[in-house]
Structure 1
């Protein structure tokens, strides 16, 4: 431990990243406190006078004085009138040694946790091993699932939010109904019945923070730990991770050019009670499940007592004719759980989705939701309700459908012009991304690495497949990119790949 005060030690500590955002007197106070606790400044050590230290650090004397005053209040230093300031005697070598040992033990635990899930439950270890889900937090070619946000009518949204605050006053600051605000549930039910061909009442709607929360609730309430659940193959990785986090066993069911194969469902002997499916726009192939299969699927679920989890994640964006109606509206047997989200139609930062539940599931799901996070913020729900009631939601969806249709055509053209011999694009009827299959001789992993070095993100296709057969390719998002951005990124990608 230091016998004399060394200015360089303090200056080095002041430069630590954990202090740089603090006010100057707090930076000095925290830096001195850290040096005292770790033993670099020993008990009884005399500190420089405030005037001397201020001159050495190039700061005002009051800044150092405020730091010393706080250290004295907290018991780290003693100040004697006319005699100076000293590190408190109570912070002796025994304390410093104990602090150092605790810090060393903490660092060792952190190092261990970096390589293994020390102290976690089996479920926790499994969640950690999955790596979680890393959402795209900035607009970048060719990230998937991002809507156009730069042209969102923010002024309209802000005006409606001010109206909500004025009309509801302090009530919006209180806890809300776990099932969701009634005005929003009414607006969602009206929209789904008219625009998506659903058959539901507001009492069947559950407002949530996201589709992932809905999937997690389904896994928790409908599937026991270790029991199977059926998932399309290839399929949405977010659903797979949500089910696995709830300790469900994912059983893949292959899809073909028309969607999930009903013959494989009938042949399944896993004992699964639920099927997760994306019938309007299969993820990631873009296939639309035809009416005959939908009816057959509903009959299978009713006959065997299965639950169908219908994820209608981006079906509003269908470009060849009108969007296909959802399966829930065809279900006479109350076996379909419908999932929807506003992250694709409005903006992902809203963090709001919803479910249509069979009547017998409403109470248990609302109860489970109340345990997880209580409710969605009321001010956002009521603002969205006004946004829908006043017609802004439908207008925005129509505008985005036209915009995305143009961008989709431009993206398909850019792929054909820039990537012949490298990748071939499929032509899904809707959605916010385009599947591309790599030609023979091209490695998905290598192309992703080369693209990343050129600043282009290529979401891989093979990660969405279960089993040994994995299609090599990419899933390219385009909805958040202007035509100029698509052209620039595609040209950059082609140049990078051909230079290898």
Structure 2
């Protein structure tokens, strides 16, 4: 610990990158403070007079004086009239007490999760959900963003700022801006066959936030929830983080097996389903099973969590109407998102809730993060009201249909004997099943080595058997990019059956 002031040490610290963007007097103040906190200036060390230090540093005396004044106010130095300025003894004492004494044993780094609650450890152990932050073949869930009408969006946002002025800068309604709730309700009733009013709509930051709220409000810790098997890992993570017990219900070519729902005796009070486009198989829940599902919920008093994450993109005929519209007893919570139809960075999703749940979910949302930015909500409302939303979805539906075709053809050309594609009726990704003898884990590593992302299928299954394969996203890739990436993948895998097959 330095007993005297060393000018060269201060000059070195003044040139630290973290200080260079500050005003000059704040640079001096921060540099001196850092020297004190680092014990480079010990207790009682006398600082140079402001005039002397200013001359040595080549700056105005007022600059150094302002730095000393702030250090004095913050308690780092004491100033004695007629004597000078000194490093505070009390600060140095506190720093010594907070540090490790020479006789203290060396502490090992804490294990991850130390000090967390049981729920915190559950979240840490389960891992997060990794979102793809750049366009990369064959990441899932990424829509085409390069064709988004940003000029229209910017114009509508300017209109909102002009019309609402400072009001959009205030806190918003936790349930969501009324114009957007009206636009969403109108869209769902017309396009998805729903039966919902604006008062049942809750605007959220994402469908993932909706799942987190469902987990917190509908399932007690340690209690079961029914989920499709295989199923969406993001939903599973949300319910596991709430310490819910996942009870898998198998899926077949017609969606979730309602006979297994009827046979369930776990005591679960809700089921999570993706009926329009089952994740990841692509199966569509048949009308008979939809009616069976709503009947089961009404008879047993259970909730249906319907995740309609990408139903807008259906390529073989019209998309099937949502389960919520068939549910006369209002036992369905409908989840939707704009991350797939518009762009992920918008961070906007919504729920259509049974009337009796609106208050609780809006209250929980107010605790979680208050509200979604008003300017984004009101801009999106106009985007929908003026017809741009439907127009964009139609254009993307046509574009994605062509890209789905390009990927199916590329798989057929390049992956014969390695994998077989399952042709889905819609969505933004294609399930691809590995032929016998090929390792999912190994192929994922080989693809990563050439810059390709192959989301594995096996992680989406609960228990055994697990289907080996990939879920290949294509919506964000042009036909040329799909072909080039598929060529790289085929070369990385060798295109030949593994030894011993």
CA contact (8 A) 1:147 1:346 kept: yes
Instruction: Give me the whole-angstrom Cα distance separating, in 2, the residues matched to 1:163 and 1:455.
Output: 42
Whether the 8 Å contact between 1:189 and 1:200 is mirrored in structure 2 is yes
1:101 matches 2:100: yes
- 8 Å contact kept, 2:324–2:332: yes
Q: 1:139 to 1:39 in 2, by over 3 A?
A: same
- 1:49-448 equivalent positions in 2, closer than 5 A: 50=53, 54=57, 61-62=58-59, 66=63, 69-71=66-68, 73-75=70-72, 76=76, 88=87, 90=89, 94-101=93-100, 111-112=109-110, 115-448=111-444
Q: 1:498 & 1:68 partners in 2: Cα distance? A: 71
Q: CA RMSD in A?
A: 3.0
Aligned partners of 2:472, 2:396: CA distance in 1, in Å?
18
SS class of match (2:459): helix
List alignment gaps of at least 5 residues for structure 1.
Answer: 55-60
Consecutive unaligned residues of structure 2, counting only runs of 5 or more, are none
Q: Which residue of 2 aligns with 1:33?
A: 33
Report the more deviating stretch, 41-50 or 207-216.
41-50
3-state secondary structure, aligned to 1:251:
strand
Q: 1:450, CA displacement in angstroms? A: 2.3
Deviation for aligned residue 1:96: 4.3
Sort the Cα spacing of 1:66 and 1:498 in 2 relative to 1 into closer, same or farther, 3 A: farther
| Residues in 2 aligned to 1:137 and 1:165: alpha-carbon distance in whole angstroms | 29
Q: Secondary structure at the match of 2:59?
A: helix
User: Deviations along 1:82-127, whole A, 9 cap, x unmatched?
Assistant: 99x976253676344235339x99x969x31xx2322221111111
Greater mean deviation of Cα atoms: 282-291 or 370-379: 370-379
Verify the 8 A CA contact 1:226 1:248 in the aligned structure 2. Answer: yes
Provide closer, same or farther for how the CA distance between residues 221 and 73 of structure 1 changes in structure 2, counting only shifts above 3 A: closer
Please say if residues 461 and 474 of structure 1, whose CA atoms lie closer than 8 Å, have aligned partners that are also in contact.
Answer: yes
* Residues 408, 88 of structure 1: alpha-carbon distance in 2 compared, 3 angstrom cutoff: same
Larger deviation: 480-489 or 313-322? 480-489
The farther-off stretch of 446-455 and 152-161 is 446-455
Distance 1:87 1:496 in 2: 67
TM-aligned CA distance change 1:353 to 1:93, over 3 Å: closer
**Alpha-carbon distance, 1:11 to partner:** 7.9
SS at match of 1:207: strand
Q: Distance in 1 between matches of 2:493 and 2:86?
A: 62
| Deviation at residue 169 of structure 1 after TM alignment | 2.1
Say whether the 8 Å CA contact 1:144–1:476 is kept in structure 2: yes
Change (3 A) 1:438 1:156: same
Q: 1:360, CA displacement in angstroms?
A: 2.0
SS at match of 1:474: strand
* Count of equivalent residues: 487
Deviation string for 1:156-178 (max 9, x for gaps)?
A: 11111111122222222222222
Cα 1:170–1:92, aligned 2, differ >3 Å: closer, same or farther?
Answer: closer
The answer on whether the counterparts of 2:19 and 2:31 sit within 8 Å (CA) in structure 1 is no
Distance in 2, matches of 1:155 and 1:207, equals 24
Q: Following the alignment from structure 1 to structure 2, what is the Cα–Cα distance between the partners of residues 291 and 324?
A: 9
Question: What CA distance in whole angstroms lies between the structure 2 residues aligned with 1:21 and 1:491?
Answer: 49
When normalised by structure 1's length, the TM-score is: 0.88
Deviation at 1:74, TM superposition (A): 1.0
| Cα deviation, residue 31, structure 1 | 4.3
User: CA 1:272–1:95 in 2, change beyond 3 Å: closer, same or farther?
Assistant: closer
Over 3 Å counting, the alpha-carbon distance change for 1:92 and 1:171 in structure 2 is closer
Q: Would you say the 8 A contact 1:140–1:456 is kept in 2?
A: yes
SS in 1 for 2:100: helix
Corresponding residue SS for 2:181: helix
How does the TM-score come out when normalised to structure 2?
0.88
